[in-house]
A and B are shown apart, each in its own frame.
Chain A
């Protein structure tokens, strides 16, 4: 938890039921990672890397891993269940053991624009660029730019050689 900077009023969530808190206690956030005011909600058991920026009203559930230097715009929603149901076919409430948690990975340096929705089990490549409002339905390649609903290829974001040179 060291080095995490949460601008007010975002605080850490404790599973004891305390209000106001939005980030689960067991989560590992990297150094210098910034969560903006008005509380993104982070419930992942995975990892959020260093130098990540997370804007308002972002929802990151269990099963999402975010590598270093990722930008996540306001209102981005990650998902983790390919076949969500509240109940079993017999009408009983599904328990937490009744579903498979899909694994989502956002790689180093990627940017996700405002209001994007990330379907379960997606990998977003290094320095990929997801435009605002995109519904990400398949993996995004490194340096790929995607937009739309359903998502389609919209070019590449920059010269790979330049990034490689600067690293």
Chain B
């Protein structure tokens, strides 16, 4: 079951309210915990079940988060490759004047504190993004990624511990 939240809805969470700003209601799955403070979840974002979302994160339209994803404090998702406030003629850009990229974070992945996720990225299952990384390329499943720009520095298992090689899926 997914709840839809109305404009400016304050979702009661572990301790404080999460502000969910909706042009179109954001969809948030059952069991998802938004931590105290103020993650900002904008309309058009889709969030699965059993996620943990920490303080000060920004999740905008075009972001799809699957089940069981950990999002650390101050993680920023982006959705526009060519952000501009105005058109070349100086007029303010309208809501239809830009293209919203789709970002997907797959099942069980973790994103560390302060990461910035560029538009149109896919982060694989159970991937581990270290704190402060800037993700400019797709991240493979089970990869451990660090740095600016983010690069693969190793592999992890489902628990998050280091692994020698990517875990093979038996699906």
Question: Is A19 in contact with chain B by the CB < 8 A criterion?
Answer: yes
A85–B131 CB distance below 8 A: no
Q: How far is the CA of A115 from the CA of B113 in the complex (A)?
A: 11
Cβ-defined partner of A86 (8 Å) among B68, B74, B156: B68
Number of residues on chain A facing chain B (CB within 8 A): 32
Cβ-defined partner of B159 (8 Å) among A75, A77, A83, A91: A83
B159–A89 CB distance below 8 A: yes
B65 to chain A, nearest CB (A): 10
Within 8 A of A (CB), among B101-131: 108, 110, 112-114, 128, 131
Question: Is B7 in contact with chain A by the CB < 8 A criterion?
Answer: no
Within 8 A of B (CB), among A81-128: 82-89, 91-94, 115, 117, 119
Residue of B nearest to A59 (CB): B73
A62 to chain B, nearest CB (A): 11
B157 to chain A, nearest CB (A): 8
Question: Is A9 in contact with chain B by the CB < 8 A criterion?
Answer: no
Question: Is A71 in contact with chain B by the CB < 8 A criterion?
Answer: no
A150 to chain B, nearest CB (A): 6
B160–A149 CB distance below 8 A: no
A59–B74 CB distance below 8 A: yes
Interface centre among A21, A43, A86, A89 (most CB of B within 10 A): A86
Residue of A nearest to B157 (CB): A89
Within 8 A of B (CB), among A34-86: 41, 43, 57, 59, 61, 75, 77, 79, 82-86
A19–B147 CB distance below 8 A: no
B residues sitting closer than 8 Å to A (CB atoms) are 10, 12, 15-17, 31, 33, 36-37, 50-52, 54-56, 67-70, 72-74, 108, 110, 112-114, 128, 131-132, 146-148, 156-161
What are 21 A-B pairs with beta-carbon distances under 8 A?
A13-B36, A17-B16, A41-B36, A59-B73, A59-B113, A75-B74, A79-B113, A84-B70, A85-B159, A85-B160, A86-B68, A86-B70, A86-B108, A88-B158, A91-B68, A93-B31, A117-B74, A135-B132, A149-B132, A149-B147, A150-B147
